[in-house]
C-alpha cells in the first residue's frame, strides 16, 4: 500500500505570487499583499490566505478566510498535496476570518484576531479572487488578488 493512498484529491495547497493583490483588515487601511495561498481542508472547506508586508521591515500580516464551497466543480484539483485551480468560476460562503501579524523572526505579534461571520463570500472570476465580509461589532474585511 502506498504511503499516499489516503491523501484525498482536495487536500493540499495552491500558492501564487500576485502582482495585483490588496486587502483591508480591521484597521480600515488598504494595503498591498503579495502571496495568495489556497488550502483544501475537506471536500467543501477551503482556507484562503492573503499575505502582505507588515509595518516594519521583514514583518508580515496575514488575512485568512475559511470558506464553504457553494459551487461545483471544486476550486482545487490536488495530487499529493500540490494543487492547481480546477475552475475559473467559483463561489464560497465565508464561515470565519482571522488576521495576524508576524515580526521579522516569524513570531506572532500579539494574539491573532478571529471572528465567526454570518454573511460574506469569496468568488473566483476572470482570473481574480475576491473575498468580502463584515465582522461582528462593525467593520468590513476584504481581499482581492489576480491569480
pLDDT tens-place string over residues 13-45: 999 999 999 999 988 889 999 999 999 998 899
Closest residue by Cα to residue 133 from 83, 96, 78: 96
For residue 57, is pLDDT > 70?
Answer: yes
CA distances from 91 to 39, 45, 56, 86, 113 (A): 15, 12, 35, 13, 25
Distance in angstroms (rounded) separating the CA atoms of residues 40 and 22: 22
Domain boundaries, the chain: 12-146
pLDDT band at 2 (very low <50, low <70, confident <90, very high): very low
**Residue 108, CA distances (Å) to 17, 79, 97, 99 in order:** 22, 31, 17, 11
Tell me how far apart the alpha carbons of residues 39 and 51 are, in angstroms, rounded to a whole number: 14
> Quick one: fold of 12-146?
Porin (2.40.160)
Contact present, 117 and 133 (Cβ < 8 Å) = yes
CB 63 within 8 A of CB 25: yes
Q: What's this model's pTM, rounded to 2 decimal places?
A: 0.91
Amino acid at each position: 500500500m502506498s504511503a499516499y493512498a489516503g491523501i484525498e484529491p482536495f487536500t493540499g495547497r495552491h500558492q501564487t505570487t500576485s502582482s495585483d493583490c490588496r486587502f483591508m483588515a480591521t484597521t480600515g487601511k488598504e494595503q498591498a499583499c503579495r502571496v495568495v495561498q489556497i488550502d483544501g481542508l475537506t471536500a467543501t472547506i477551503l482556507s484562503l490566505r492573503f499575505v502582505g508586508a507588515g509595518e516594519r521591515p521583514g514583518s508580515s500580516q496575514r488575512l485568512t478566510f475559511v470558506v464553504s464551497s457553494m459551487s461545483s466543480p471544486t476550486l482545487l484539483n490536488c495530487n499529493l498535496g500540490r494543487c492547481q485551480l480546477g475552475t475559473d468560476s467559483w463561489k464560497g460562503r465565508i464561515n470565519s476570518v482571522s488576521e495576524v501579524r508576524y515580526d521579522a523572526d516569524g513570531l506572532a505579534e500579539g494574539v491573532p484576531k478571529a471572528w465567526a461571520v454570518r454573511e460574506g463570500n469569496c468568488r473566483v472570476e476572470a482570473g481574480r479572487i475576491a473575498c468580502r465580509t463584515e465582522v461582528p461589532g462593525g467593520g468590513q474585511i476584504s481581499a482581492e488578488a489576480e491569480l
